[in-house]
Amino acid sequence: MMRVMAFIGVVGWIMLVVPELHFLYKHLIPALGDGKYLAFVVMGVAMFFCLPIVLTRKSFSALLPAKCQSLIEKLIMGLLCVLSVMVSRCFMQ
């Protein structure tokens, strides 16, 4: 489930970063009606929670397998979650 949400997070970041894809945000999201609020929540969780956690877990298992499930890994997960929010705010201004 986390991998699927991380993939949705990647799609969200691509829509946020590539200006040519903003038409998806401007034209397709309002077409969802009241479902757009659920779509925003799912995309937010995917971009700011699931994606940084999956990336950190994959990185630690590949590069530092002895440190998996450690406090350092969890601190980096939290730091990446906060950093992803801060970076996205810069793109939205």
CB 20 within 8 A of CB 53: no
Q: What angle do CA 48, 46, 31 make, to 5 degrees?
A: 115
pTM of the model: 0.81
81 confidence band (pLDDT: 50, 70, 90): very high
Q: What angle do CA 36, 10, 81 make, to 5 degrees?
A: 90
The 10s digit of each residue's pLDDT in 17-61 is 887 787 777 777 788 888 888 988 998 999 999 999 999 999 999
Please give the pLDDT value at position 45.
94
